[in-house]
Chain A
Amino acid sequence: MLIEAELKEKKISKDYGLFTFKLYGDLENPEAGQFVMLKASDEPVLAKPFSIYSYKNRELTLFIKRVGRLTGKIFSSPIGEMFYIRGPHGNPYVDLIDGEKQYILVGGGSGIAPLNFFSELHPTMVYEKFYGFKGSYIRELFTEKEQRNLIIEEESGKTVIDVLKDIYSEEIGILACGPVPMLKNLPATSYVSLEAMMGCGIGTCKSCAVKTKKGVKLVCKNGPLFRKEEIIWEWI
């Protein structure tokens, strides 16, 4: 069912922003790793997937990078603008990972969204958080406490991969979401959360294909989380 979502709050720093929507309906027990399909009232026609950054009492927060027509529209919309969402779709991370382990959350850009939700819902499973961005301007979107997790390349010359190398050991799991070059540089046993162009978000249209050692899978229906070593990266 499409739920009306009214833009209630926005905080923007250049090409990134936090957007909170008031929903006129319930998202049923959303979990970290799940996403909503969000669409504008007219153009673009297609709904697009967005990972849940936070959800409480019918208030949904998304962490969005401006890349195309729909995100452009969200950035320029006034407070009060109506959108439509459905979901949650996709599998919760907790259903796909080893629940006994603790995890380092490795995020890049808008990929931090599902990791933030994971950290809110399952704080005891989190060992450490590294959220990578290129420029300092991103600090504006976060509280002082949240800023401690930021790895900003422009400031330290380091990426999340560099920082990860210093503390990584095999007993700790890795849960990552971010750009493909970042994911490719992670240890083979890492869990990586993939992004894809989606049509339906529920497994029918076959748009978000990912090739794995076990055949072609769908990011929406089988993922979004996969073992890094399972993915045939040449196909992406």
Chain B
Amino acid sequence: MGVDLSVDVFGIKFRNPIILASGPVGFGFELMPYLDFSNVGAITLKTVTLKPREGNPPPRLVDSHGGVINSIGLQNPGIEGFVEEIAPRLKELKTIKIGSIAGFSMDEWEILGEEMDKIKEIKIIELNLSCPNVKGKRRWAEDAELTQKVVKIARKLTNKPIIAKLAPDVTDIVEIAKAAVDAGADGLAIGNGIQAMRIDVETGLPVLKLKTGGLGGPAIKPITLAKVFKTREALDVPIIGIGGIMNWQDAIEHAMAGASLLGLGTAVMVDPEAPVRIIEGIKAFLDRKKIESFNKIIGVAHKGGLNVH
């Protein structure tokens, strides 16, 4: 039986729901020898800021039970470097490209939005409102009003679909999600790394140079899953579920909670071929359940499940 994995959201047809989340895969080029991009639904590129950033001093990464804590600090060539060096090469990546931007002021968001809008290869723009690793900066997505302001600015600048990438570790994600959608966001990415840290007991000092970072990996899956579920309950808008998806079961759980697309971060860092393995697993699952289309399982946890008797 042929299983249809394609997903239609934002007026775009994705060949399957597995996308590479922004961050661990950079701009994707180094991954090309290991992963055939025509196998994944999309890639969300590394976040670009207005000015080039060298990122945080090391150590930038430490392992933790059930996951990994990172504090890269948005290392990127800046929007000018991106437009000149990266954008012309994007067609090499044989999948849909989602551009990711992060401003530190409203003016910066405006410039970044304008520039990203001009790049033909970029089909969707993700607003990274939730990077946990920028020193001294509060995350935009901790505040509904600020989230709304940023999305409004972006909405005025582009007709491309806009995704607001939210922080899972906030008091009420639904309030912030609503603010983003009211301001014109076409979709939501839930979520980013959860603020976390480790201390070296021998020295009594934080392991990461920035002290805290963002936790990703299997440890955060049940947490982001609940955020996806709650957001889906309140809002009818496409959601990209991101957080600890390591295997097909995790992916299916996120879809059942309400995610139309499924973002991989830590899984790809550990095994660059993980996307292929997970897609195969989803296909086999649907086949076994005699469900002809992936679309049929999106949000079923809200609608009486799979009707298994």
Contact = CB atoms under 8 A, between A and B. Distances in A.
B273 A1 contact: yes
Contacts of A45: 63, 66-68, 217-218, 246, 266, 270
A210 interface: yes
A44, A48, A200, A221 — which one has the most chain B CB atoms within 10 A of its CB? A200
Interface string B24-45: 1110101100100000000000
A235 B57 contact: yes
Contacts, number: 102
A5 interface: no
A206 B55 contact: yes
B293 interface: no
A69 interface: yes
- Secondary structure at the A interface, as helix, strand, loop or mixed, is loop
Contact of A207 (B54, B60, B270, B271): B60
A197 B270 contact: no
Interface string A194-236: 0011111011111111110001100001000000000000011
Interface residues of B, number: 35
Contacts of A196: 58-59
Interface in A16-57: 39, 43-48
Contact of A209 (B46, B75, B217, B269): B75
A210 B270 contact: no
B192 interface: no
Contacts of B269: 46, 199-200, 204-205
B58 A205 contact: no
A200 B24 contact: yes
A121 interface: no
A188 interface: no
Interface in A156-214: 196-200, 202-211
B26 A197 contact: no
Interface in A100-145: none
Given A1-B273, A204-B26, 5 more contacts: A45-B63, A68-B63, A198-B61, A199-B68, A202-B31
28 contacts: A1-B34, A2-B271, A39-B270, A45-B66, A45-B217, A45-B218, A45-B266, A45-B270, A86-B272, A196-B58, A196-B59, A199-B24, A199-B61, A199-B70, A200-B272, A202-B34, A203-B30, A204-B268, A205-B24, A205-B26, A205-B70, A206-B75, A207-B58, A207-B61, A208-B58, A208-B61, A210-B58, A211-B57
